[in-house]
């Protein structure tokens, strides 16, 4: 049995607008194994976010195959995609995407409620996730009462609570100052060392070096793969 978690073969994505074809992705071949920490790097508009949307089942490829955890997912129905997203994929967004009138605890709990997880199990999962990111003491606070760095830690906890197969991070430091950005990157490094599989989109070469492997994308194609001999852990 292969430890391959994600496998893309010949994945393309074409957007049609006003009869103009935009080829966002062109023949992407990519394999990510369980426990890997991979960064996807490239200039703005190169297809990084489109690729992450496909990996996260938020979008479908125009052509090609996508196998997640041994299962082809490119042709699944919308309800099936939503179910897999909720159970197997943890999202960390640049803009945090916390719900303003819910407490920290409730924000982390919400995806588990959608999953139908029993209350006692939810409580244990939320508490453990908040402790892991150092935010248990802020469980009753609202997002507006937190700094940007703290909000991103809560967003990481929300992604972790359901024990997903993979964490997808889209420019997780994009809205943070350098100190908070470094802190979030350190947190991701610790999660990876504890066994998490992480795929991170970033345009910051300094943060890309935290990963074991960097996939460079240009004009919708993989142009280079770079393996870090000594990934940054600072």
Domain boundaries, the chain: 35-60+77-227
Q: Which residue has the tokens 């490239």?
A: 42
pLDDT above 80: residue 179: yes
**Torsion of Cα atoms, 218 then 51 then 26 then 231, to 10°:** 50
Q: pLDDT digits over 133-156, tens only?
A: 999 999 999 999 999 999 999 999
Q: What are the b/e assignments for 105-116, b being 16+ CB within 10 Å?
A: bbbbbbbbeeee
Predicted confidence at residue 68, as pLDDT, reads: 95
- pLDDT confidence band for 233 (50 / 70 / 90): very low
Q: Answer with the residue of higher pLDDT: 64 or 44.
A: 64
Coil, strand or helix: which one is 11?
Answer: strand
Q: Say which CATH topology domain 35-60+77-227 has.
A: Rossmann fold (3.40.50)
- pLDDT confidence band for 226 (50 / 70 / 90): confident
Q: Report the distance separating Cα 159 and Cα 164, nearest Å.
A: 8
């Amino acid at each position: 049995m292969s430890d391959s978690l994600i496998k893309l073969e010949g994945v393309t994505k074409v957007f049609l607008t006003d009869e103009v074809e935009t080829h966002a992705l062109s023949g992407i071949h990519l394999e990510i194994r369980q426990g890997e920490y991979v960064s996807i790097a490239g200039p703005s508009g190169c297809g990084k976010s489109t690729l992450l949307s496909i990996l996260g089942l938020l979008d479908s490829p125009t052509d090609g195959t996508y196998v997640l955890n041994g299962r082809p997912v490119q042709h699944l129905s919308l309800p099936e995609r939503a179910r897999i997203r909720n159970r197997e994929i943890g999202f960390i967004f640049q803009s945090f995407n916390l719900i303003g009138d819910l407490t920290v605890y409730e924000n982390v709990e919400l995806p588990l409620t959608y999953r139908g997880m029993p209350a006692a199990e939810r409580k244990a999962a939320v508490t453990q996730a908040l402790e892991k990111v150092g935010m248990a003491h802020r469980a009753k606070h609202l997002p507006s009462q937190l700094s940007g760095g703290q909000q991103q830690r809560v967003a990481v906890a929300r992604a972790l609570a359901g024990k997903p197969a993979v964490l997808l991070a889209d420019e997780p430091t994009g809205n943070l100052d350098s100190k908070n950005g470094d802190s979030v990157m350190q947190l991701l490094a610790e999660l990876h060392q504890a066994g998490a599989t992480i795929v991170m989109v970033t345009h910051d070469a300094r943060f890309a070096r935290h990963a074991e492997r960097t996939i460079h994308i240009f004009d919708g194609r993989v142009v280079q793969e770079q393996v870090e001999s000594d990934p940054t852990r600072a």
